[in-house]
Amino acid sequence: MTSIKTVGFIGIGNMGEPMAANIKRGGFEVIAFDLDPVRAKAFAEAHGARAITELAELGKACDAIVTMLPTGKEVREALFTMQGGALAANMKPGAIVIDMSSADPVGTRTLGKDLAARNLKLVDAPVSGGVTRARDGSLAIMIGGDAASVAAVRPVLACMGGKLFEVGTLGCGHAMKCLNNFLAATSFAAAAEAVTVGRKFGLDPEVIADVVNVSTGRSFASEMLIKQHLLSGTFGTGFALGLLAKDVKIAADLAEQIGIDAPVGRLTRDLWADARDALGGDQDHTRAALHWEKRALPSAAE
Ligand code: NAD
């Protein structure tokens, strides 16, 4: 396996933009592609990289392709459907796709087989830490794949991550990620519900957060989201409601696919899907709390 020099980056969004910038800063050649060519062009101009609109050219030029797209569906589209499947058809033999999107782990294993049939490799390497840690290159990265491919992509991942976890075979990264986000989604929903109940009884929500944050109920949601985004009315995490609803569904579906009864997963999936359907997937995910509160206190909305 040749060492990676040129990296194609597909998906210059909230996360992809700063992640691709860190790969460039790490000394790799970076070529950006996005469905919205304006984003790729702006990235290239800001960071002295290249932007490309032809997927065939991207495939020919790169030793590895990073995908940072909404779901596994868009990853498949970019590889096999868009521009007549030009990307997969033109990638160098042995080149590696690094899927850093939060995708469905079962679909990832299927994708790995489809790529292997074309002499291409796949590593799944989803991330946690949000836009802030994407910017400072300190993301937690959960890596699944065969040992040789993982070793080959580690230098690229090290540009973006503070902690690189090799969690198992292909798909294990995506399984780990959906389980993490299931926990994040559950604890945010629970913290928001505690605020609603406490406020109705007469507690000050700021006090609720202060107490919980030095007590056993604390979580990332209570420490980093409740005051900063919900109570302040900022709703500016940069993580869309539709994406978190998607992650919780992946986790609940995974349990079903492997025959595990996971009632908390089902309930959490339904809560987030309900908020997404009511508010729209583009809203910041912390706004879901407003929807749940409105549902819980119907008279407050009148
Ligand atoms: P985003 O919507 O900001 O960015 C997605 C980008 O992909 C956009 O620029 C869009 O134009 C582009 N795109 C969509 N379909 C495409 C296609 N077929 N081909 C090429 N480009 C296409 O999303 P994001 O917040 O950057 O999230 C990306 C992934 O990272 C998701 O899977 C998400 O769940 C995960 N994630 C997000 C966060 C966060 O805090 N935002 C944190 C961890 C993981």
Domain ranges for the chain? 6-169, 176-296
> 32 CA to middle of ligand 1, Å?
14
Residues 6 or more apart whose CB falls under 8 angstroms from that of 48 comprise 24
How much is the pLDDT for 297? 87
User: Is ligand 1 within 6 A of the CB of residue 248?
Assistant: no
Which residue out of 9, 34, 285 has the highest number of ligand 1 atoms within 8 Å of its CB and is therefore the one to mutate? Answer: 34
Note the CATH architecture for domain 176-296: Orthogonal Bundle (1.10)
**109, containing H or E segment:** helix 105-116
Give the CA count within 13 Å in the CB-facing half-sphere of 293.
20
> 185 CA to middle of ligand 1, Å?
18
Q: Domain 6-169, what fold?
A: Rossmann fold (3.40.50)
Strand, coil or helix: 72: helix
Give the CA count within 13 Å in the CB-facing half-sphere of 93.
0
User: Is ligand 1 within 6 A of the CB of residue 40?
Assistant: no
- Taking only the tens of pLDDT, the chain with its 302 residues reads 669 999 999 999 999 999 999 999 999 999 999 999 999 999 999 999 999 999 999 999 999 999 999 999 999 999 999 999 999 999 999 999 999 999 999 999 999 999 999 999 999 999 999 999 999 999 999 999 999 999 999 999 999 999 999 999 999 999 999 999 999 999 999 999 999 999 999 999 999 999 999 999 999 999 999 999 999 999 999 999 999 999 999 999 999 999 999 999 999 999 999 999 999 999 999 999 999 999 998 765 44
Instruction: Give the Cα separation of 291 and 278 in Å (integer).
Output: 8
How much is the pLDDT for 300? 55
> 183 CA to middle of ligand 1, Å?
21
Which residue out of 39, 68, 75, 178 has the highest number of ligand 1 atoms within 8 Å of its CB and is therefore the one to mutate? Answer: 68
User: Is ligand 1 within 6 A of the CB of residue 238?
Assistant: yes
How much is the pLDDT for 298? 73
Query: What are 270's two structure tokens?
Result: 């339904």
User: Is ligand 1 within 6 A of the CB of residue 108?
Assistant: no
How much is the pLDDT for 302? 45
User: Is ligand 1 within 6 A of the CB of residue 15?
Assistant: yes
User: Is ligand 1 within 6 A of the CB of residue 293?
Assistant: no
Q: Look at residues 199, 192, 301 and name the one whose alpha carbon lies nearest to residue 241.
A: 192
Instruction: Give the Cα separation of 211 and 297 in Å (integer).
Output: 24
User: Is ligand 1 within 6 A of the CB of residue 197?
Assistant: no
What is the residue with the minimal CA distance to atom 19 of ligand 1? 35
Instruction: Give the Cα separation of 164 and 223 in Å (integer).
Output: 24
Give the active site residues. Answer: 177
Q: Look at residues 63, 61, 20, 60 and name the one whose alpha carbon lies nearest to residue 39.
A: 20
Q: Please give the number of the atom of ligand 1 that sits closest to the Cα of 246.
A: 34
